[in-house]
Structure 1
Amino acid sequence: MTTLRVLGLAGSLRTASLNRALLRAAQGLAPAGLVIEAFDLISVPLYNGDVEAAGDPAGVAALKGAIAAADGVLFVTPEYNHGVPAVMKNALDWASRPPRGAALDAKPVGIIGASPGQTGSARGQSQLRQAFEFTNSYAMPQPELLVFRAHEKFDAEGNLTDEATAKYLARYLEAFAAWIARFKAP
């Protein structure tokens, strides 16, 4: 069995973020043959065409390299003000450059997210899905994972404690592994 390598990106920089906790839970619940490696976006500066023209900063080069080396990318996004947070959109903007041959081009991607609100990051996920049309990334259409009232589903240390959410996450990851395999060359 070939191991599928997934790069996980959490769209919050806070150490105690619910989305970082969801990414850690995904790492622990990944099915056999799927390995999720987390990449911290803290080192990725705001996109600036002038900076890009001078050459990718180290954090950007590392992000692009990690995406290129992965079989798929798992975006774990919160929702800020009814949309995708700036740190997540910024990572996507850098990873979509240059337009031809970008790291995200033809890459299978998954989108999950957690929020204390009732919609569980639905709007943020929707905005990411729209952006993936431009990047020519293959966003998995179903199933979706929208962890609502997330503050009630993780303990103070960031461990996922809700059994139903853990089951949904495990099913999502199995589906994501199958999605990635559809695009993997034999």
Structure 2
Amino acid sequence: MDQIKIAVIVGSLRTHSINKKLALAVGKMFSERFVLQRVEIADLPLYNQDFDHDYPAPGILFKQAIEAADALLFVTPEYNRSMPGVLKNAIDVGSRPPGSNSFAGKPAAVIGTSPGARGTALAQQHLRNVFVGLDVLAMAQPEVTVQFQEELIDEEGRIGNERTQKFLQGFVDRYSAWLIKTLAA
């Protein structure tokens, strides 16, 4: 496998989302062996089982983007101690109809940032629980729950804190090595 394609799914629709900034910053840390492609979720309709026989075009495009990837990177905020509804909706769209789970068998990692002291730990744990039902293999460590502060990451994805830069690079290095090993198996 020459290049490894990673689908990046950000669980926020906000224009100036701090998780979009985190995804951008982390994306710049991967070596050239990895190609990261952000998969948008904003245009997905709310999942409805009536779609199972006539899937809407945005759902089909989303599923195709996930299927084209070798691996997944979820970057999620935490809303009310869980993942945002828009992210859960994207998962529901991508895993349906029965027998066509686009996530199945993919290796994944979860990261996130929030202004709160615990970061996105609970949202990430809930997402990992959902991975079991999706047949997604989740990298267990390191957990990346960044407490976001003003000017930590700018609009261009530059990190303004050396300690955070090293921490995130450590995650990227470990995720990269884990993906190479996992995908070779």
Please indicate, yes or no, whether the TM-score normalized by the shorter chain is above 0.5: yes
Residue identity opposite 2:9 in structure 1 = L
Are 1:96 and 2:81 an aligned pair? no
Q: Distance in 1 between matches of 2:104 and 2:156?
A: 36
Across the aligned residues of Structure 1 and Structure 2, the Cα RMSD in angstroms comes to 1.8
Aligned counterparts, 1:27-176, within 5 A: 27-50=27-50, 52-155=51-154, 159-176=158-175
Q: Is the 8 A contact 1:12 1:87 kept in 2?
A: yes
Q: Distance in 2 between matches of 1:183 and 1:108?
A: 8
Q: Is the 8 A contact 2:52 2:97 kept in 1?
A: no
SS at match of 1:42: coil
Match of 1:4 in 2: 4
Give the aligned length. Answer: 185
Compute the displacement of 1:98 (Å): 3.0
Compute the displacement of 1:158 (Å): 5.8
Q: Is the 8 A contact 1:115 1:151 kept in 2?
A: no
Q: Which runs of 5+ in 1 are unaligned?
A: none
Q: Distance in 2 between matches of 1:150 and 1:25?
A: 15
Compute the displacement of 1:156 (Å): 6.3
Q: Distance in 1 between matches of 2:16 and 2:100?
A: 35
Q: Distance in 2 between matches of 1:136 and 1:41?
A: 20
Deviates more, 1:92-101 or 1:73-82: 92-101
Compute the displacement of 1:46 (Å): 1.0
Q: TM-score w.r.t. structure 1 length?
A: 0.91
Compute the displacement of 1:8 (Å): 0.5
Q: Distance in 2 between matches of 1:99 and 1:174?
A: 35
Q: Which runs of 5+ in 2 are unaligned?
A: none
SS at match of 2:42: helix
Q: Distance in 2 between matches of 1:68 and 1:131?
A: 18
SS at match of 2:164: helix
Compute the displacement of 1:135 (Å): 0.4
1:12-56 deviation per Cα after TM superposition (whole angstroms, max 9, x unaligned): 001100000011112211123112111221111111111x23422
